[in-house]
Amino acid sequence: MFTLPPGPMTWPSFEFHDFISSPPEAAAVQPGNKNRRRNTSLLIRYAHPDGRRRHIVIDAGKFFYHSALQWFPYFGVRELDAVIITHSHADAIGGLDDLRDWTNNIQESIDVYTSQRDFEVMKKTHYYIVDSSSIVKGTAVSDIEFRIISETQPFFVHGLQVTPLPVWHGAGYKSLGFRVGNLCYISDVSEIPADTYRLLENCMMHLMDHDKVNMELRLLLESEGLDVQLSYDGLRIPLPLAVNPPQLALANDLSPRDR
């Protein structure tokens, strides 16, 4: 159980190296090194009661296509059942355009779950996806069904309950994390509000030099009671997930946003 007071978080002092200015021998430029990371994202794979596996992605950032090429074949992922968006910055939505490779070749469309606030941004940044009538005839774009979610109420995606975790990304800018079962995913955060802290009880959290920082992060277990590790591209975490019966999931799915 979390006992931290709400407010700005204090972390151990880390030494970070700028990737651009790093010398060629730096760990971050070595293929396969855990320090070589792209935009933060999460793939949830689980068995649905109907017998078919479901694949849900949280965030599709600028490097989504490159990550998918590397990791989807490795984990045997072909179809995408849904994408959930944490916020409307490029590191979370920059890869939405690349979903056309799925909707044009593998499946008809993909549901994208997002807040109304972030949808308003995407109506400008991805206007040609939100309203495909504006594109040139014959041009291929992602076929997306936008589903608007509440920032404070749980929702269901293919039988899986997802709970929004509102956090401050920076001064005056809110982002969403999400809780699925006992996994809490928060990609961009500078401060966690008190109401959100209560939603983190008994939750496993995974944050984004790898081994060295992990040693320093272990200090949080003693000082703050937090068991934290650095994540890395391709990290796999087996978790038990409770899936609601299909009829309940369908009753709670949000209707597609009128485009």
Contact 29, 61 (CB under 8 A): no
Q: Kindly report the average pLDDT of the chain as a whole number.
A: 77
Instruction: Let me know if residue 258 belongs to a domain.
Output: no
Here the CATH number for the domain that contains residue 150 is 3.60.15.10
Residue 16 counted as domain residue: no
SS3 at position 41: coil
* 174 within domain boundaries: yes
Give the torsion sign (CA, 177, 232, 97, 57). Answer: negative
Range of the domain at 60: 33-252
Question: Is 9 inside a domain boundary?
Answer: no
- Look at residue 198 and tell me if it is in a domain: yes
Our count of domains for the chain comes to 1
Give pLDDT tens digits for 110-129. Answer: 999 999 999 999 999 998 88
Top mean pLDDT of 27-31, 78-82, 202-206, 222-226 is at 78-82
In a domain, 13, yes or no: no
Q: Does 233 fall in a domain? A: yes
pLDDT of 225-238, one tens digit each? Answer: 877 776 666 667 77
Higher-confidence residue: 119 or 13? 119
Which one is predicted more confidently, 152 or 251? 152
pLDDT in tens, 71-102: 888 888 888 999 999 999 988 999 998 888 88
Give the rounded distance of the alpha carbon of 185 from its chain centre.
7
